[in-house]
Amino acid sequence: MSEVYKNIIRLRQTNQLKCLYTIIRDKNTKRADFIFYSNRIIRLLVEEGLNQLPIKPKTVVTPTESTYEGADFQGKICGVSIIRAGESMEKGLRDCCRSVRLGKILIQRDEETALPKLFYVKLPTDISERYVLLLDPLLATGGSAAMAIDVLKKRGVPEDRIIFLNVLASPEGIAMFREKYSKVKVVTGMIDQGLNERKYVIPGVGDFGDRYYCI
């Protein structure tokens, strides 16, 4: 079972999960291993995100000509990645949902002010009718995620249809979500100690995008 508190869902802290995080936190971990073990964590996050979607009853007939009272997802979904680090989570989503629609939002942080700036938005035209899995590996100050959620809301997506998936979160980012977006569900793997003077998550994993994409 995952740990849930006021729409903040943390993956169950199993021995496996602790080992996976130890590998990706290690600065000496090679890029290929960082990608492999990050992908394993991302897959767990996507699975838990899908667990948060509403379902409806569905009856099917099995090959034995028996009926099975099962379930089907209620409504369509899509993924929206915050470029570029969020794109690392798209494969995990596709592995679980083969034909899922994807959107992208480009938000970059000003290194001097630590404030986000919006540069690019590309979303499915019917996004207001979908449940949205928002993808970004790190929740630090929450500025970029907040801007992305505001973009989604302006496109007609209700807060309670947004599920934000991240590998690591800071207490500061979690507190911002509880105060400003209380209806958005946050699914995270671990909640770290906090932010340093440069607003980076500590102990963290460093720059996730650089470690995932750069040789």
* Whether residue 109 lies in the annotated active site: yes
Whether 139 contacts 166, CB under 8 Å = yes
Helix axes 31-51, 15-25, angle to 10 degrees: 140
* Whether residue 22 lies in the annotated active site: no
Catalytic residue chosen out of the listed positions 12, 113, 126, 150: 113
* Whether residue 110 lies in the annotated active site: no
* Whether residue 207 lies in the annotated active site: yes
Amino acid identity at 155: R
DSSP SS3 for 150:
helix
Nearest to 173 by CA among 152, 156, 148: 148
**What are the E-state strand segments in the chain?**
3-5, 8-10, 55-61, 67-73, 76-83, 101-109, 116-122, 130-135, 138-139, 162-169, 185-191, 194-195, 201-202
Catalytic residue chosen out of the listed positions 72, 95, 150, 210: 210
DSSP SS3 for 58:
strand
Catalytic residue chosen out of the listed positions 26, 33, 72, 207: 207
Catalytic residue chosen out of the listed positions 94, 101, 109, 155: 109
Q: Which residues are catalytic?
A: 109, 113, 207, 210
